[in-house]
Amino acid sequence: MKKSLHFLLVALITTFTTAVAAGERIGDFALIDNQGAQHHMGWYDDQNAIVILPQAVGETDTAALAVIQDLETKFSEQGVVFFLMNPGVQTDRAAVTADIASLGVDFPVLMDDAQLATEALGITRLDEAVVYDPASFELTYRGPADAGLEAAVQRLLNEEDSLVVFATDGATIESTGPGADTAPSYVADVAPIIKENCANCHREGGIAPFAMDSKLAMQGWSPMIREVVMTKRMPPGQIDNKVSHRMKNEMNLTDAEMQTLVRWVNAGSPIDGAMDPLAGLEWPETKWTIAEELGEPDLIVKIPPQSIPATGVVDYMDIPIDLGLTEDRWVRGSEVAPDQKEVLHHIITTVIPPGGAEDRQSAFINAINSLPEERAAAIRAEMFAALAAGQSPDIDKIFQENPDIDVGSLLGGSDPDLGSVAGYAPGNSVSINEEGVGGLLKAGTTLSLQMHYTTSGKEVTDETEIGIWFYPEGVVPEERMSGGVGNAFTIAIPPQAKDHEMRLVTHVTEEVDLYSLMPHMHFRGKRMKFTAKYPDGSEELLLSVPDYDFNWQLAHEFAEPYRIPAGTQIIAVGAFDNSEQNAANPDPSIEVNWGEQSWEEMFMGFYSWKNIDQGGGED
């Protein structure tokens, strides 16, 4: 039966279509859908096939859609995944969502705003369905949604992967944007994008693994450039910038920039003219990025050299450093200059005032005792009962039921004037206050540095430094920054869970201007979204990070501070991928719990805000 079906298809192809070489490799790609979820085709490599049908508001082929629905019923339990895809015809997600709802379907709609996945798949008409192999990144069918599509899915399930193409006569999809008609210019179009978005890291001595500093380098690395743009791996730390508020430090490429780069590569990476805009780019000699605005640091803190072995597990280090301050100074900004970036995982910096830091256990008890006595007594009784039974108190439950306990103050102290000093995580090493805002480092202040290193296969010595910029002597900034921390201490991620969702609520008890939001998870972190729930019950999306990357932990800064009323809840909803689909997963066979090491997990949200009513300089 299998052979006769194959011969029939070959005969049909000979009669009605153009024969195409088997196994047309499309490559990997990632797209965000109409609901804001990112779908990376490589993540579906445990499935047998992906079927995609174009969608356009008011123009979707309803007959083809009916076929897709029938096929989903037949094949969904056989490892076949079904998507619709808007090929850049519309970019309004709400309109797309309303359109498919009116058609009575709920397939995710991949939003191919830049049209690059559409072009890679060879889709040119709205009635062209495709069958894609997520394991090999190959196309095995392109044509109408009919019996030929069903046969193509079955062939892939039978591990027959030759490409079959049938012509269709549906509405034509018009290609738009740079490079749609002619190849982009390297000099005028491509090089400026690289200079603005990539070259600062991709240069000699930069943190990236290769340099983009000449036309020859660009041609040599062009397949890699196409891949990382198509999969949204680069630029790193991308947010979903098609929704919510504009972020000051977003690193996304625009649709036009992605079209320029990928279509240039697809055209063969042509070079026009003798001039090379990327050759001879000059970069600041200083290691401090803040220096461009504030000059060289007023104080450089040299962390004692740390010898990191080639292999094994390096325990967390707690390193105290006396700043040597003989007089009080107000901090404008600070920055970590990492030395051995391949081994330095993170630094958590705690400012210890001259009188010493408050013990966290004592601070927690004091915070409980500060609550109304009826609630405080109930918490104390609950904690005692748990300890008496040989169990740990449910700290998450205590915080959830008592939102007026300030987690941030427990982690970082309660002095409203106390200054902070930047910590470090990849992509996050700078802390700078706007003019007139700052914190105090008193004479005799020390730093406590929690240093976390990971081995790299080579023994190295790390000599990281921290730069601090002060306000001029005698200048006292009028305002203080504050913030909040949400932390789920109870985590239990089942083995092989592909999308284990968690929720965290942080309460904003006073009116504030919100400056930044930062998700924090470890290797299994997959996505996180922040929503404000206002006192009147309304909700607003603040930030979506659809593809969380442990290697790029960024504090996402609003382009303009955003006013949040007292009584607002910031709800963080995220998920972990503890499956084999997560290439960074150390061990998908185990349940994962809370812990400080990278192979354990955390679920946290960090928020930077400034209280509107500072009470004469105090929060």
pLDDT of residue 21: 41
3-state secondary structure of 599: coil
Contact 185, 194 (CB under 8 A): no
Local structure of residue 188 (DSSP, 8 states):
I
Examine the domain organization and report whether 362 and 499 are in the same domain: no
Quick check: is 341 in a domain?
yes
Burial of 254 (0-12, 13-18, 19+ CB in 10 A): middle
Note the pLDDT tens digit of each residue in 368-381: 777 778 878 888 88
3-state SS track over 48-112 = CEEEEEECCCCCCCHHHHHHHHHHHHHHHHHCEEEEEEECCCCCCHHHHHHHHHHCCCCCCEEEC
| Residues 165, 245: Cα–Cα separation, whole Å | 43
Quick check: is 273 in a domain?
no
| Residues 323, 325: Cα–Cα separation, whole Å | 6
Examine the domain organization and report whether 76 and 106 are in the same domain: yes
Quick check: is 492 in a domain?
yes
Sheet of 568-576: strand order equals 500-508, 568-576, 525-533, 539-545
3-state secondary structure of 130: strand
pLDDT of residue 405: 67
The residue ranges of DSSP E strands in 454-511, in sequence order, are 460-462, 465-470, 482-487, 492-493, 500-508
Examine the domain organization and report whether 366 and 312 are in the same domain: yes
The last residue of one of the domains, among 165, 199, 215, is 165
Examine the domain organization and report whether 595 and 496 are in the same domain: yes
| Residues 580, 494: Cα–Cα separation, whole Å | 13
Examine the domain organization and report whether 211 and 157 are in the same domain: no
Examine the domain organization and report whether 84 and 120 are in the same domain: yes
Backbone φ and ψ for 229, nearest 5 degrees, come out as: -75, -45
Q: In the numeric block, which tokens belong to residue 591?
A: 């349940």
Domain count for the chain, please give it.
Answer: 4
CATH number at residue 426: 2.60.120
Local structure of residue 216 (DSSP, 8 states):
H
Examine the domain organization and report whether 319 and 402 are in the same domain: yes
Please name every residue paired with 466 in a beta bridge, in sequence order, or none if there are none. 301, 336
CATH number at residue 555: 2.60.120.230
> Whose CA is closest to 269, among 232, 324, 307, 219?
219
Quick check: is 566 in a domain?
yes
Examine the domain organization and report whether 258 and 377 are in the same domain: no
Quick check: is 282 in a domain?
no
C-alpha count within 13 angstroms, C-beta hemisphere, residue 229? 30
Q: In the numeric block, which tokens belong to residue 99?
A: 């359109």
Quick check: is 285 in a domain?
no
The pTM score is: 0.83
Examine the domain organization and report whether 225 and 247 are in the same domain: yes
Contact 584, 481 (CB under 8 A): no
Examine the domain organization and report whether 26 and 81 are in the same domain: yes
CATH number at residue 84: 3.40.30.10
Residue with tokens 């949200």: 605
Backbone φ and ψ for 353, nearest 5 degrees, come out as: -70, 170
Residue with tokens 């914190």: 439
Quick check: is 6 in a domain?
no
The whole domain housing 227 covers 186-266
Quick check: is 594 in a domain?
yes
Contact 298, 439 (CB under 8 A): no
Packing angle, helices 147-157 and 2-16, rounded to 10: 130
Examine the domain organization and report whether 493 and 522 are in the same domain: yes
The last residue of one of the domains, among 403, 437, 470, is 470
- The residues of the chain scoring below 70 in pLDDT are 1-23, 357-363, 387, 392, 400, 403-415, 615-619
Please name every residue paired with 12 in a beta bridge, in sequence order, or none if there are none. none
> Whose CA is closest to 426, among 360, 347, 365?
347
| Residues 140, 152: Cα–Cα separation, whole Å | 7
